[in-house]
Structure 1
């Protein structure tokens, strides 16, 4: 679930920037590319390790129990919100990142909405697996792999936008949204290529629900053995 996969400046706009700004953008892009690769690699390795373990792990609750149903519904709901929220956020930042400070839509209630909705995705995946232990594991993976990136992103934005970002940061929280701050313009420009990529990335979240349901069916019918049961 790459939170910063959208919003590269269109080349024709970038070409019109002054030399100093263009050099700063190039340095930012290089730094972001390296940190993004490290973060994505770490997150993918951790998630794949969990997925490999999950093949032989099942929850310890009754299949027809109320708790089992509530966990599954909560997880599916959060995965849905994660997908919709990432698409919503991408609509505001696609093609605009590093060119101007986005402060409308989801960015009016939280400074890093893509990370917030990514967190909902990790949380939702854990709950959809109907295990509190696996939910805690997914939350830990998110905190370890994403929080350092949020801090670096904060430093980058302060360097790029200066006092404008300082005022914005004093008003809007970094991760936990304040819905009463919401504001939205009557219209906005959309960079279609970046937005389409964000829609595709978000649509892949639906595969998590499908994968979990197929795995559970294989466990219930004895196709894949259950070696451990977790609460």
Structure 2
């Protein structure tokens, strides 16, 4: 995505549509659990290792999203936030959400599922980020262009981290982001429950094995 090719727009991207899509995708991912199973069996060393790393990534996702919303909550698309996590990446919320998607795939015990979910999230948020960038370019002009030149679009660069002396945040936005994070955390018990029922013979056999 090159900012020189962007056409400024006067209306902000509707975040609610993205959130609805993400939640629907999460529900579909859980439903797919009933049709597939990981190649690594539950309780094996490989499966437990993937679950551990997956859970760590999901926790990093929730913590990173809460950290990001402390800086941008209540000000998104209204102010040009460039401190804290936004000094390292233009889209830290999307980065941490993608990390969480990869974590969910690993929680399931499948590297392939982790890669697929991570790629799908990256592509979805790439489209969203481009629409937001067009709006911010139209709203803040040269200041936003200067910000994009010094800050990576997606992958954070800790070496350029900077922070302000004062920070105001929205408790409402923080609370909303916390409950959104519960969607990621809720996937873990859902996966464990499905695996338990399958091992106990209470579910029909999976149709597809994924690695």
TM-based fold match above 0.5? yes
CA contact (8 A) 1:126 1:138 kept: yes
Cα distance between partner residues in 2 of 1:103 and 1:93: 9
| Root mean square deviation, CA, Å | 2.2
- Where does residue 196 of structure 1 map in the other structure? 175
Q: 1:71 aligns with which of 30, 50, 72?
A: 50
- Where does residue 28 of structure 1 map in the other structure? 11
Cα distance between partner residues in 2 of 1:49 and 1:203: 16
- Where does residue 187 of structure 1 map in the other structure? 166
Cα distance between partner residues in 1 of 2:127 and 2:42: 38
- Where does residue 225 of structure 1 map in the other structure? 204
- Cα deviation for residue 150 of structure 1 reads 1.2
Structure 1: unaligned runs, 5 residues or longer: 1-24
Moved more, 159-168 or 178-187: 178-187
- Where does residue 161 of structure 1 map in the other structure? 140
What are the Cα deviations for residues 102-137 of structure 1, in whole angstroms up to 9, with x where unaligned? 111100111100000110111111111111222232
Q: How does 1:4-19 map to 2 (within 5 A)?
A: none
CA contact (8 A) 1:92 1:104 kept: yes
Q: 1:102 aligns with which of 60, 63, 81?
A: 81
Is 2:36 aligned against 1:53?
no
Structure 1 residues 189 and 50, CA gap change in structure 2 (3 angstroms): closer
- Cα deviation for residue 61 of structure 1 reads 1.3
Question: SS at 1:194's partner residue?
Answer: helix
- Cα deviation for residue 140 of structure 1 reads 3.3
Is 2:114 aligned against 1:135?
yes
Q: How does 1:111-150 map to 2 (within 5 A)?
A: 111-150=90-129
- When normalised by structure 1's length, the TM-score is 0.80
Moved more, 165-174 or 57-66: 57-66
- When normalised by structure 2's length, the TM-score is 0.87
Cα distance between partner residues in 2 of 1:64 and 1:124: 18
Cα distance between partner residues in 2 of 1:193 and 1:45: 23
Question: SS at 1:199's partner residue?
Answer: helix
- Cα deviation for residue 42 of structure 1 reads 4.3
Structure 2: unaligned runs, 5 residues or longer: 1-8
Cα distance between partner residues in 2 of 1:93 and 1:209: 28
Moved more, 178-187 or 121-130: 178-187
Is 2:188 aligned against 1:209?
yes
What are the Cα deviations for residues 193-229 of structure 1, in whole angstroms up to 9, with x where unaligned? 2222222222332111111111121122222123232
